[in-house]
Structure 1
Amino acid sequence: MSVSSSTILTESGTNELEIIEFHLEKQLPNGSTKTCYYGINVAKVREVIQVPETTDYPNAQPHMIGVFSSRDVLTPLVDLAGWLGVPTRNDIQKKFVIVTDFNRMTNGFLIDSISRIHRISWNDVESPSQFLEAGEQDCVVAVVRKDGNLIMILDFEKIIADINPELSMEKYDVKVDKSVDLNQKMVSKRNSKTIMVVDDSAFIRSLIQDTLSSAGYNIIACKDGGEAHDKLMEVAGVAKNENMSVDELINAVVTDVEMPRMDGMHLVKRLRDSAAYHSTPIVMFSSLMSDDNRVKALALGANDTITKPEIGKMVAMMDKYVFGS
C-alpha cells in the first residue's frame, strides 16, 4: 500500500484530513484477543509494507527491533505494541510495517493489521479528556469516533523522541545557543511581549514554551486550534471593550498544522479573515512542513514556517516578526 501526497487535502484551510486506521491485537490473559484501534495522518505515511528483513543494530534502544533499507534509507523498525505496553502475538511475519516520513526522518512501526483510510473533518477529531491526558508523557493527541470504535491518534513525534533521544528537539537549549541574543536588555524587551503557542502534543507544546520563555517571551499555550481561536476571539473582545489594539495583548502566534477540532491551516485562514488579527505575525511549526505545505501556509497568510526539528530557529524568527529585527 503506497500513500501518495496527492491524496492529502485538496484545498488549504478546509479543516479536513485523512487518517489511516490500523490495529494492534492485544493478547488477553484468558487467551482471547482484543482489537485496539489507532490512527495516523496519511501525510506522515510513506507506505505500508510487509515485515522486511532486518539487521540487528548494536546498542539499540528498547523496542527497536532492528534496521532495514527503505528506498535506500537506513530505517529503524520500532515495536509499536512494545512501546505502548500492549502484549501482542510474537509471529512477526504475519504483521505489517507503517513506514513514516516526517521531521526529515524515516521510521518503521510494526503493527498487526492495516484497515482503511478515513477522510474526516478536524471538527470530528476530539482532544483527549483532561482525565485521560497525562501531561508531557501522554502519547495520544486525539480521538476519532468511527463505526462505533474509538480510534486513538498517536503522538509519533513523542514516540520517536523517546526511542531516539539523540534526535529529539529536547537536546536543544536556547541558553547555550550563541546565535540567540540573551543580554538583559533584549530579554527585558521580549518580556513585554506575549506569544500564543498552539500544539496538540503536550510534549512539543512544552518544548516550544520552554524555548521562547527562556528567551524572555510570555506564553499563552493552547492544545488545539479550536481552543486557540476561542481565546483569541476573547482577547479581541477585551481589546475592543478597552479601546486597545490587539497587539497590546497578543504579539504573535506559533501554531502546529494537524490538531483536533480546528487544524492550523484553518486557524490561519480564520485569523486572516478577522479584522483584529489580519496582520498579527503567525508562524507555522510542523512536522509536515513540506515545500507544498509551506506554499499553502504562506498563501493562507502565515508569515513563515519551521519544520519541527528546527526549534533552534524559533527565537530568531519571533524576534524578526515581533520586533522587525
Structure 2
Amino acid sequence: MDQNHSTSSILTESGTNELEIIEFHLEKQLPEGGTKRCYYGINVAKVREVIRVPETTDYPNAQPHMIGVFSSREILTPLVDLAGWLEIPKANGIQSKYVIVTDFNRMTNGFLIDNVSRIHRISWNDVESPSQFLEAGEQDCVVAVVRKEGRLIMILDFEKIIADINPELSMEKYDVTVDRSVNLNQKMVSKRNAKTVMVVDDSAFIRSLIQDTLSSAGYNIIACKDGGEAYEKLMNIKGSADAEGVPVSELINAVVTDVEMPRMDGMHLVKRLRDMEVFRDTPIVMFSSLMSDDNRHKAMSLGANDTITKPEIGRMVSMMDKYIFDLDD
C-alpha cells in the first residue's frame, strides 16, 4: 500500500451495508525477546492519509502517550503512541514506523503504528460485536471484530482514545442539567417521561454519553450496541404494538443512531425502517463522527430527519424535542 495513500476518493454507497477498513499492525515485544504481530483496523472514512513518521515537536505538559505534534497539511496534529495507549510492550525506535492520520469529529490526529497491510471491502454483516470475545464495558477500546484469513482484526474505538488523550475536547464535559438552552422545567420533563428514544451506537463510551444526556432531560432510553440489535428490538416493538392494537408511537418515539456499526450500519438501518409503513414517520436522527456534507446528504436521502456530528451532543435534547413534540430547535 502506498505510504501516502489518500482515502478521499473512497466512498461507500448509501444503505449498502458495506464499508472499507484499513488493516494495520502493531508488533508486541514478548518477554523472551521475540515479537508477536497484533492486527487492528480502522474505517477508511476516518483516515486522511498514511505517512512515514514525520518530524515532531515536543509539546509542554502533554498527555501520556502523546509523542509530540507535527504539521499535517498546515494543521497542528498530535502524534499518539497507539501501542503505549493500548499497553502493548514494544521495541524502541520509531523511525521505521508509519502514522495513520485521522480526520473525524472535526479533529485531526496521528496514530503511530508499525505497518499498514491493505484495505478490505467488507459487509457490516461480517463485522462482529466484540461482546462474544470480551466482557463489554465502558473501558472497552474495541468496538468490532473482523475475521480475515484465519486472523482476528480488532476495530478500535478511536473516539474513546481521542477523548482519553484530549479530555478538554471530550463530549464528557457536556452536562445537560446546566445547559440553559434546554427546557428542564417540571412540565417539560414530565412530557419527556412519557416518551422513549432508542439509542444505537457500538461504542459503550458514546452510547452512555447519549443515554445520560437524554435521560437527564427526562426521556426513557432503549440502548442497542449495533444496527442488528436495534432492528431486532424494533421488530419486537412492532409485534407488541400489533398485538395490543396500538400505533408503534405508543411504544417508541424516536431513534438516534450511529453510522458505522457491526452487523448492520446506521444507513442500512434507516433504509430498512423507511421501507416499512409502520416506521415511516418515526423520527430518526443520525449521530456520527463522520457526518460530512456527503454523508448528511446520504442520510437525508434515505429518510433520516436530521444529523448531528458527535461533538454537538449539546443539540441532542432540543433536537429530540423538535421532532417528538414539534418544538423549534
Q: Same fold (TM over 0.5)?
A: yes
Secondary structure, counterpart of 1:136 in structure 2: coil
Give the corresponding residue for 1:5.
Answer: 8
Shift of 1:8: 2.1
Secondary structure, counterpart of 2:202 in structure 1: coil
| Aligned partners of 1:3 and 1:42 also within 8 Å | no
Give the corresponding residue for 1:311.
Answer: 313
Shift of 1:130: 4.8
Q: Deviations over 1:267-313 (max 9, x none)?
A: 00000001110110000000000000000000000000000000000
| Aligned partners of 1:209 and 1:221 also within 8 Å | yes
Q: Deviations over 1:184-224 (max 9, x none)?
A: 00000000000000000000000000000000000000000
Q: Is 1:239–2:253 an aligned residue pair?
A: no
Give the corresponding residue for 1:98.
Answer: 100
Kindly provide the amino acid, as one letter, of the partner of residue 32 in structure 1.
G
Kindly provide the amino acid, as one letter, of the partner of residue 6 in structure 1.
S
Q: Distance in 2 between matches of 1:172 and 1:2?
A: 36
Kindly provide the amino acid, as one letter, of the partner of residue 2 in structure 1.
H
Secondary structure, counterpart of 1:8 in structure 2: coil
Q: Distance in 2 between matches of 1:290 and 1:133?
A: 33
Q: Distance in 2 between matches of 1:74 and 1:201?
A: 27
- Poorly superposed stretches of 4+, deviation over 3 Å: none
Q: Distance in 2 between matches of 1:138 and 1:3?
A: 29
Give the corresponding residue for 2:138.
Answer: 136
Q: Distance in 2 between matches of 1:6 and 1:266?
A: 21
Q: Distance in 2 between matches of 1:316 and 1:307?
A: 15
Give the corresponding residue for 1:299.
Answer: 301
Q: CA RMSD in A?
A: 0.7
Q: Distance in 1 between matches of 2:109 and 2:69?
A: 9
Gaps of 5+ in 1: none
State, as a whole percentage, how many aligned pairs show the same letter.
83
Gaps of 5+ in 2: none
Secondary structure, counterpart of 1:141 in structure 2: strand
TM-score, normalisation: structure 2 = 0.98
| Aligned partners of 2:130 and 2:136 also within 8 Å | no
Give the corresponding residue for 1:259.
Answer: 261
Shift of 1:3: 2.5
> Which of 285, 288, 311 is the matching residue for 1:283?
285
TM-score, normalisation: structure 1 = 0.99
Secondary structure, counterpart of 1:137 in structure 2: coil
| Aligned partners of 2:97 and 2:114 also within 8 Å | yes
| Aligned partners of 1:77 and 1:107 also within 8 Å | yes
Q: Deviations over 1:107-152 (max 9, x none)?
A: 0000000000000000000001256134111000000000111000
Kindly provide the amino acid, as one letter, of the partner of residue 215 in structure 1.
A
**How many residues are paired up?**
324
Q: Distance in 2 between matches of 1:311 and 1:238?
A: 31
